[in-house]
Amino acid sequence: MKNIRIFGNEEKYLKNVLKNQFRSSKNGYMVKKFENKFAKIFNTKYAIAFTNGTSTMHACLEAIGVGIGDEVIVPPLTMASTTLAVLHCNATPVFADVDIETFQIDPLSIEKKITKKTKAIITVSLYGLSPDITKILEIANKFNIKIIEDNAECFLGYYKKKIIGNLGHMSSYSLQGTKHISCGEGGVVTTDNKKIAKNIRLAQSLGYSTLDAKKNKIPKELLGSPNFNRHVVLGWNYRMSDLCAAVALGQLENLKTFVKLRIDCAKLYNQVSKNYKWFVTQKIKRNYKHSYWTWAAYIKNNKIKWLNFKKKFISFGGTAIYGCWKLTYKEPFFMKNNFNKRQKLISQKNLKNYKLNNLCPNAEYLQPRLFQFKTNFYNLNEAKKETLALKKTLDYFDKLI
């Protein structure tokens, strides 16, 4: 692989879009090519392109009628967008704990949090590893609840030999700059349900009457008519542009290469860290294939402080080490009920729950201890330097405990 991230047809496709000078007759054609290819790769009937990976989840929730008075179960150990999408629908987020070994949302905790108001569950394939979708589906089907997979960090991950992306009712992907493939900002939703796909398209595209599960274009002759009934439902303007789609399509064509490099980087981390019992890596159970948006581990020793570990890692030549996001309910806007007046729509019970210590004990234990190590290197030589720094850091602290 070349020592650059852009090495395919991205520039060629961009030039094709620019050559058309944004003629309305050509608008959306590159988006459609990207959607079709994405659906094929992820073995799903429908793929719908978005501006980002937060609008995707908002549209999914709108598509199944989530709104005021409804509850959506989410994990707190992830980027806040998963929860923000629920609040954007004027619904109530309810937090389920994570598995201490896999860091994924725990099916047992999900079931305990279900009420009569529960309308959906958003799972997160944290760091590129799928949660236990089989068990979660059993729970969802038992209570007639929809599952939205937040797969922003999981491209070409597998669960029981099935590609992640069509196991729940809908799946959301992000094309933000750090993801496996990117167009700067962007997102995609996949689903096999035609009705849901149409509703997602309507939510994405201002509720335009002529759109459906696969149709993303509004006929020019209708747009010019004064009698055209444009909007049949409330929608948002979350459509991906052809410029972004051009880059996304070029990236998508090389998806396997990008994912393989991340997996190869993770293998190097696994090799150098395997003999340190106090340094616990994310557990990958049988029949799971990790796609490694990042490689994660935590320190199971109170004598070693997170910041000291990072400083020593940098001193040994490491370049990129990140902490885990604060748990969403520990973020300032949750602590202060700063929901832009949406707190009026959330029950007092849930508002009080957000302030509890040990609301999600496993997540609260893991978050301050977790390290996220970079896998999006441009070649393995860069990754080898990083893993050498990790080995030296582990050896240094191993002698102190």
Q: Write the pLDDT tens digit of every residue in 314-325.
A: 999 999 899 999
List the domains of the chain with CATH numbers.
Answer: 10-253 (3.40.640.10), 257-325+367-398 (3.90.1150.10)
- Given a contact cutoff of 8 angstroms between Cβ atoms, the answer to whether 107 and 135 are in contact is yes
Record the tokens describing residue 359, joined without a space: 């609301």
Record the tokens describing residue 39, joined without a space: 């659906």
pLDDT category at 221 given cuts 50, 70, 90 is confident
Q: What's the pLDDT at 22?
A: 84
Whole-angstrom Cα distance, residue 369 to residue 302?
Answer: 9
- In this structure, the number of other CB atoms found within 10 A of the CB of residue 279 comes to 21
User: For the whole prediction, is pTM greater than 0.85?
Assistant: yes
| pLDDT (average), residues 56-77 | 98
Q: In 96-235, which ranges are E strands? A: 118-124, 146-150, 158-159, 162-163, 170-174, 187-191
| pLDDT (average), residues 36-60 | 98
Q: What's the pLDDT at 320?
A: 82
- In this structure, the number of other CB atoms found within 10 A of the CB of residue 195 comes to 12
Give residue 207's identity as a one-letter amino acid code.
G
Whole-angstrom Cα distance, residue 241 to residue 256?
Answer: 24
65: three-class secondary structure by DSSP = coil
Q: What's the pLDDT at 224?
A: 75
Environment class of 119 (CB within 10 Å of its CB; exposed 0-12, middle 13-18, buried 19+):
buried
Whole-angstrom Cα distance, residue 399 to residue 387?
Answer: 19
Render pLDDT for 317-369 as a digit per residue (tens, 0 to 9). 999 899 999 999 999 999 999 999 999 999 999 999 999 999 999 999 999 99
Q: In terms of Cα–Cα distance, which of 374, 13, 42, 378 is closest to 183?
A: 13
Whole-angstrom Cα distance, residue 366 to residue 359?
Answer: 13
Whole-angstrom Cα distance, residue 163 to residue 66?
Answer: 27
Q: In 10-113, which ranges are E strands? A: 46-50, 71-74, 92-95
The alpha helices in 125-164, defined as continuous H runs, are: 133-143
| Residue 299, pLDDT above cutoff 60 | yes
Record the tokens describing residue 356, joined without a space: 């509890």
| pLDDT (average), residues 305-319 | 96
Q: What's the pLDDT at 366?
A: 98
Render pLDDT for 195-218 as a digit per residue (tens, 0 to 9). 999 999 999 999 999 999 998 887
Q: What's the pLDDT at 166?
A: 87
Please state, rounded to an integer, the average pLDDT across all residues of the chain: 95
pLDDT category at 186 given cuts 50, 70, 90 is very high
| Residue 1, pLDDT above cutoff 70 | no
Q: What's the pLDDT at 3?
A: 54
| pLDDT (average), residues 67-71 | 97
| Residue 56, pLDDT above cutoff 60 | yes
Q: What's the pLDDT at 217?
A: 82
Q: Which DSSP string corresponds to 263-295?
A: HHHHHHHHHHHTT-TTEEEPP--TTEE---SSE
Least confident of 208-212, 287-291, 305-309: 208-212
Q: What's the pLDDT at 248?
A: 98
How many residues are recorded in the chain?
401
| Residue 59, pLDDT above cutoff 60 | yes
Apex 268 CA angle, 264 and 274, nearest 5: 130
Share of the chain above pLDDT 90, in %: 90
Render pLDDT for 374-390 as a digit per residue (tens, 0 to 9). 999 988 999 999 999 99
Give the torsion through C-alpha atoms of 250, 255, 256, 259, to 10 deg: 140
The DSSP bridge partners found for residue 98 are: 105
